[in-house]
Amino acid sequence: MGNLKRLDVNPCKMCMPIGAAIAFKGIEESMLLMHGSQGCSTYMRRHMSTHYEEPIDIASSSIDEQGTVYGGEKNLRQGLKNLIKLYSPKVIGVVTTCLAETIGEDINRIAADFKKANDVEDISIITVPTPGYGGSQFEGYYLTLRKIVEQLAESSGAKSSKLNVAAANLSPAEVREIKRILDLFELEYTILPDISKTLAAPFTKDYSKIPPGGTKISEIKKMGDAAFTIEFGTLVDSSLSTAVYLKDKFGIPAYRLPIPIGLKNTDQLINILAEISGKKIPLSLKEARGRLIDTMIDSHKYNSEGRAAVFGDPEMIYAVSSICQENGISPVIMATGTDLDIFQRKLEELTADSRDQNLIFSDTDFEEIRNYVNEYNINIMIGNSDGAFIEEKDGIPLIRVGFPIHDRVGASRQQNIGYQGSNNFLDQITNQILALKHDNYREDLYKEFYQANKGAAAAKDAAELKVGEE
């Protein structure tokens, strides 16, 4: 279902630059500069800082009225200079905002000129056009990954046995889990972006403004030599796909997979890893798989009562709906604010066997989601904390996953992927359904069978009494 509304009430999306910011935070020794008005960077820093509970430094070129009229080149050059002085980064992401795009700033040229004019040959400046009106955080994120690779990856002529991984917008803990799984297969890999440390930095004696970790530039440069690419992004347009780029440019076979949440999605990943590594599936993963299935059996009756609304980032919705679907939790509503044609088709495929009517919305807002949540008796919501609004108003519990999570701690430690993570995630959902049952079944049954009967009898008595009076 498309959204014919033009008015957006309570947005179920953010804008492109914040997707870019998350992607750049996973590059080693990188800093980001937003070319635009001062406010954008501040808002996004706040948004990310409450989610990750980490300092999020993002610079702005602080274009003012003059810059808007005469062009922001001076601001951008000065911004780059100051940024380098303060942070000494090895990589600088320069992304545009609405303002810069509207006044027609050529960031590629300005960045190139800046590099020439200043002695900063050792700094990689990566440019990404991310006008806020050009899409949501979803496109901003994937486009940025692709631009980073486009501008850095080379082919040395010699093939390596390495694996490229373009990650979805996962939590730092989930990126760690991906790496753990890849290590189990003894694969050599480059994962992009690697936010596992940068956005979940351990407490240490010395705080460093640019946290250690992240994907190394030297590794990204070698991505053109890799043997395979895995990209977590089945709903990503090929023009935004890093895997597609690497395939087209360097002939690297591409596997485009869903985020490994749930048995089916995780199986898909594990089987491919076994295939490309030529190794047997490690025992520990087999056991974890067995335990997940065991849980699925143990919980299946409870799960059958779940009627879920799933919202947020399209790729996350797909993965969450998938685990719901395979466990008999009906993903009645699947909704994203991102305007994405393929969304409808992919989720229809996913829920083809469903007995329920599934409502699939892209380019929607929380007002519409809320209307359907109430109309379709949803008893559990799974998505980012923007859904807390509905939880507060209508009392429907929300399981917080994805980005952003503002009102609870631990977003960066959430681990819902792989067999183990899926197991924990499923327990969380099942327990919510169980809590609903335990909280209400006495009263529900009392109302249905005792009170209704007594009430009817009382009404009958009263009616008879009235007849008698007449």
Residue 109 CB, nearest approach to another protein (Å): 18
Residue 179 CB, nearest approach to another protein (Å): 23
- Asked if residue 49 lies in contact with residue 18, where contact means CB atoms within 8 angstroms, the answer is no
Residue 367 CB, nearest approach to another protein (Å): 8
Tokens of 413: 């430690």
Bridge partners (DSSP) of residue 32 are 93
Residue 146 CB, nearest approach to another protein (Å): 19
Residue 72 CB, nearest approach to another protein (Å): 9
183: enclosing H helix or E strand: helix 172-184
Q: What's the rounded Cα separation, in Å, for the pair 250 and 247?
A: 6
| Among candidate residues 73, 278, 277, 311, the one with its CA nearest the CA of residue 162 | 277
Nearer to another protein, 15 or 296 (CB): 15
Residue 365 CB, nearest approach to another protein (Å): 8
Nearer to another protein, 92 or 163 (CB): 92
- The strand order across the sheet containing 228-232 reads 189-192, 163-166, 228-232, 254-257
Residue 264 CB, nearest approach to another protein (Å): 32
Query: CA–CA distance from 268 to each of 100, 177, 262, 274, 349 (Å)?
Result: 42, 16, 10, 10, 17
Q: E strands along 129-253, which residues?
A: 163-166, 189-192, 228-232
Nearer to another protein, 77 or 216 (CB): 77
Cα torsion at 14, 16, 20, 22 (round to 10°)? 10
Q: Give CA 369 to chain center in angstroms.
A: 19
Nearer to another protein, 181 or 199 (CB): 199
Nearer to another protein, 55 or 290 (CB): 55
Nearer to another protein, 407 or 464 (CB): 407
Residue 59 CB, nearest approach to another protein (Å): 5
Nearer to another protein, 279 or 393 (CB): 393
- Asked if residue 324 lies in contact with residue 306, where contact means CB atoms within 8 angstroms, the answer is yes
- Asked if residue 397 lies in contact with residue 432, where contact means CB atoms within 8 angstroms, the answer is yes
Q: What's the rounded Cα separation, in Å, for the pair 117 and 245?
A: 31
Residue 130 CB, nearest approach to another protein (Å): 10
Per-position b or e across 441-457, b if 16+ CB within 10 A of its CB: eeeeeeeeeeeeeeeee
